[in-house]
Chain A
């Protein structure tokens, strides 16, 4: 390995520096950095022993756990490429992703039936490993203190794949290198001022770029991650923050909307909370203000990024929040931002156009999809697909997305993924799906259906069909039967018009 930091290098250094520090706390189980390294080393050695070759893909379909974190680092130590899939997805998604990445090994949670089905259809039984939930014996392996030294890998080679869309057409798997991941983690550590004294209660899944960045930043500095499964019971999450005296919390706008509406934060002792971060879509300035008032002792970091840029592109320094309210901040260390017009020319201050970025965090490309890669990457620059403007001080303001991606809660959903499933119903003549404004989720999914003349189809039938085929967060909240869909002269769907038709 060269002098460039890698994730594996970060874990080795942290485990040597603070071996007894808690890395991950998952319910009653606690894993120190020494143990995390030991687990990762054991898993890595076993992967190699069972035939994993450099650059081969190891798929992880898991909810957050110490085993997940150990397996993720293990794959990198073993020279493989870690493919992190949304554990809440359904069989048809898993099948498409496993085929696209040509999985060599599949590691799943023991109780995930759909993932298990997909794994069995994709790899030999010996290459489908199931979690045990026991950090002393990850995947049923016997821990060994002696682990083979990590494979020497090119830090610019593929290390991780995150899929940003489902089965429609060719899946888009964002390929990131260890250099991408480590440089982005280092930049985040720097602006958050993270140290080994920090600890975070995290509800964000590691299989999304935001949650993944929370993991890597904490491993880099030897800080503690306290895992909470989800936000179903927000009171339990806040109680955990208070009990653990967590110094940080990370969320998306819907997380904060939920916490502020359902929990009286003032009733809990959150004095240790030093900062909160917000990313994953624009949060209204009103909600940002409410959050600051509810947590007067915590610095609020508004941030922006995307999976194609590893995770983070900009952050708003908390002391600038009042002066730049509504901005997502300025570029993080090492990143350049340009706003370009229709003709590709860089726009002057204040001009609204496409946001292009350049930096060590920009992905290598989409996995085995040169067409999709070429559509967004030119000369080292990445077209984010977002629209916005820069002010005279270099602060970025977003003004919507050009693409049709729906952001609902913490999830990004491509409408066509849902349209394809609904189109399977014989009663459907035409279908369009759009995101409509939703107070809690940011956007809610709505399906507009033109039924076959004379056919009988109820919204509930449509939703029931989707439930069989799609992850729960992709099931349309609203289904409306319409006479026709709004189209342009050339027959192209006017999705923007659908969004107005709540």
Chain B
């Protein structure tokens, strides 16, 4: 099997009023990639294109080194999916959910599913509609992981989860990739989660691919620059991404190569949020 579980090249999709344009990234085996962007940036569309739930206009998607359409059924045997909202019938019990879904997978492990239920404290007889948001998420995760998938695709799995559940989920994902044979694509706008666990990041803004690569390179590429009004020269102003001027002074993002020229100003490490906010302001 290939070293890249997921590869997108020049993927585009046009809707009325929105275009996902030329998205490219690759997710290597054994790593977690965060797919970030503001609401409506195109994260869910990208995931739906990967899963062939939408047809792309152009580009190429390969999963496990094969075309995602030709090998869709084979590939999906090795993919676990979690969406932001539960996609099981609300009148199903947890037990029904397993019965309904397990037949789709050759490698379904009833013991693994039961173990996950025990771990998550999910009652077998409780109906999906009666479960809390966090419990529904855990059920989706139990289903997604019970057929030993090589690739987990998670679309906003932490939105609506309390901090304890989020922490549990992140720990589980770290455990999941430990053997080096599995990967996770994790779409979220709660970027603090990614700073903890992601090795790679793809940043989509308004349907455009802003960055895709290693997380450390992404964070190391920018600095948050702050200063007083009088220190904001026109040359600096041109170099700042997403300049914000307040009564106290100014703040913005600056490329690390440019930052060396402004050591007399305050230069802080930028978080993913900082980068997203300032790049968002630029566009």
A binds B: no
